[in-house]
Amino acid sequence: MRQIIGIGTGELDSLTLAAYQAVLEAGNVILQTVEIPLAEALTEKGVRFQTLDGFYEEAEDFADFHERVCEFLAGQEDAALLVMGGVYESTLAQAVLAQFGPQIRVIPGLSFGEEALSRCAGRLTGGPARFYTGTEFREARYQAESPVVITEVDTPYKAADAALKLMEWLPEEQEIYLVRGAEVEAMPLAALFRRQEGWDYRASVVADKPVLLKKQSYSFYDLVDIIAALRSENGCPWDKAQTHESLRKTMIEEAYEVVDAIDAADPYMLEEELGDVLLQAVLHAQIGGEFSEFTMDGVTTGICRKMIHRHAHIFGTDVCDTPEEVLTNWEKIKREEKGQQSVSEAMEAVPKGMSPLMRAAKIQKKAANTGFDFPDWKGAYEKVREELEEAVRELPGGGETLEKESGDLLFAVVNLLRLWKVDGDTALNQATKKFMARFARMEELAREKGLDLEKMPIESQENLYQKAKSLEKFCKQ
């Protein structure tokens, strides 16, 4: 009967008892390569064997090598093929299994990673490990949340790549382990980058999970753990006292600070402010979990499902060729999700906590999606003039009527801006910022002239304002 036997890194003590017995009882032992300690050990014990080294030399590539080995095994009825690693990580073993299927017996062995990890027994403290090959680790989403074992680090280049990625998360002085078969060498992480010798198919790099306070970078789940610690029995008094309601104002403030960072075109500031918004989300999820309301996993699951469902043109069969078609489809799917039977229900669902300008624009857009809209901006412009005249007529009486007419005027202005594709909040913020800059320049000009701005007549103030305005234009040139 044909057999595939996993032999780990090729040390005699890498074999399981079942693997060792199968090797001794096999009529025809075939080693993947003679370049392993097991070859010498079997020779000493009088076990005769063949190797596949000749096929390696003759084959044009791995596919050709696998094909040659399968043809060879087809003529070997009582053959035990000893493959490096744990069978299921061996591409050779997978090719043989695909060829012979259930006609072949599999005796699993230690994988490269399991063997390397066992050689480091007692030296690691971080719980269950994650395993990658040197090639896989380059693209892996490693975030130092557990010990890591990187196998088949067979060149100095793979070692340097692994070191660079590890150093994004671990301190350079952290001790890591280079494992080659039965040999274990401890060294600082920084030394791994410079190491030139000792790299072959048996070489593995093992790194423990770092102490939280010594991490060089932090992941999303590090933040989750930190917030859980702050809310724990021995945590921070302020964090423990927070509720969804107490954090409401903070969430709004943090969102505005993100907008400020975007307007300032400052990526470093934006990075920081997005972190503050993320903190708020994690805090709310932690509170929700404590009161069995919802969890962080529920939050991420919900948004992932929403993005998949509302992007049916990507994950489904819908067709949307333009951004406008995407938005129309999004609104349609959104109404279906929320069971909204009418546009007015969709309007009611627009958050009342939004800025009034933004809320007005969103409601107007929902109406426009039904076709209830001006044919162009000129009609909206005439509506602004009409509402302005009505507001002016109410000036003598003032009171609630003037307030209502003023609201109509603002609503009409927002509608005009919508048709101009201008965001009202952004435009108003920019205008406010511009006015503040001009006023600051006015004060500066007054001080230069030895004048008290507050005591100047309005005509003189206006002259200074126009001067500040002209200087602004000069600075832009």
Calculate the alpha carbon distances from 293 to 222, 244, 289, 301 in Å: 22, 11, 6, 15
Same domain, 138 and 178: yes
Same domain, 105 and 121: no
**pLDDT tens digit at each of 477 positions of the chain:** 789 999 988 889 889 999 999 999 888 999 999 988 999 999 999 999 999 999 989 999 989 999 999 999 988 878 899 999 888 888 899 999 999 888 889 999 888 999 999 899 889 986 789 999 999 999 999 999 999 999 999 999 999 999 999 999 999 999 999 999 889 999 999 999 899 988 988 899 999 999 899 999 999 999 999 999 999 999 999 999 999 999 999 999 999 899 889 988 999 999 999 999 999 999 999 999 999 999 999 999 999 999 999 998 999 888 988 988 888 888 888 888 888 778 888 888 888 888 899 999 999 998 998 889 999 999 999 999 999 999 999 998 888 899 999 999 999 999 999 999 999 988 998 899 899 999 999 999 999 999 898 889 999 999 999 998 888 765 554
Task: Answer whether residue 413 is part of any domain.
Answer: no
Q: Are 137 and 163 in contact (CB under 8 A)?
A: no
**Of 110, 125, 153, which marks where a domain is finished?**
110
Same domain, 183 and 231: no
d(CA 55, CA 73): 12
**Of 310, 341, 358, which marks where a domain is finished?**
310
**Structural domain containing residue 299:** 220-310
Q: Are 408 and 391 in contact (CB under 8 A)?
A: yes
Task: Answer whether residue 380 is part of any domain.
Answer: no
pLDDT score of 473: 64
Task: Answer whether residue 390 is part of any domain.
Answer: no
Task: Answer whether residue 131 is part of any domain.
Answer: yes
Same domain, 299 and 268: yes
Task: Kindly report the CATH number assigned to the domain that includes residue 259.
Answer: 1.10.287.1080
CB atoms within 10 A of CB 10: 24
Same domain, 75 and 18: yes
Same domain, 52 and 134: no
pLDDT score of 474: 57
Beta strands 175-180; 203-207: pairing state: antiparallel
Vertex 243 angle, CA 238 and 249, to 5°: 90
Task: Answer whether residue 342 is part of any domain.
Answer: no
Number of domains in the chain: 4
Same domain, 75 and 129: no
Same domain, 162 and 192: yes
Same domain, 209 and 258: no
The pTM assigned to this predicted structure is 0.72
pLDDT score of 475: 57
Task: Kindly report the CATH number assigned to the domain that includes residue 136.
Answer: 3.30.950.10
Burial of 57: CB neighbours in 10 Å, binned 0-12, 13-18, 19+? exposed
Task: Answer whether residue 324 is part of any domain.
Answer: no
Task: Answer whether residue 383 is part of any domain.
Answer: no
Same domain, 95 and 133: no
Q: 123-144 burial, b if ≥16 CB within 10 A, otherwise e?
A: ebeeeebbbbbbeebeeeebbb
**Of 110, 143, 177, which marks where a domain is finished?**
110
Task: Answer whether residue 124 is part of any domain.
Answer: yes
Largest CA distance in the chain: 114
Q: Are 296 and 286 in contact (CB under 8 A)?
A: yes
Same domain, 80 and 123: no
Same domain, 147 and 202: yes
d(CA 197, CA 72): 35
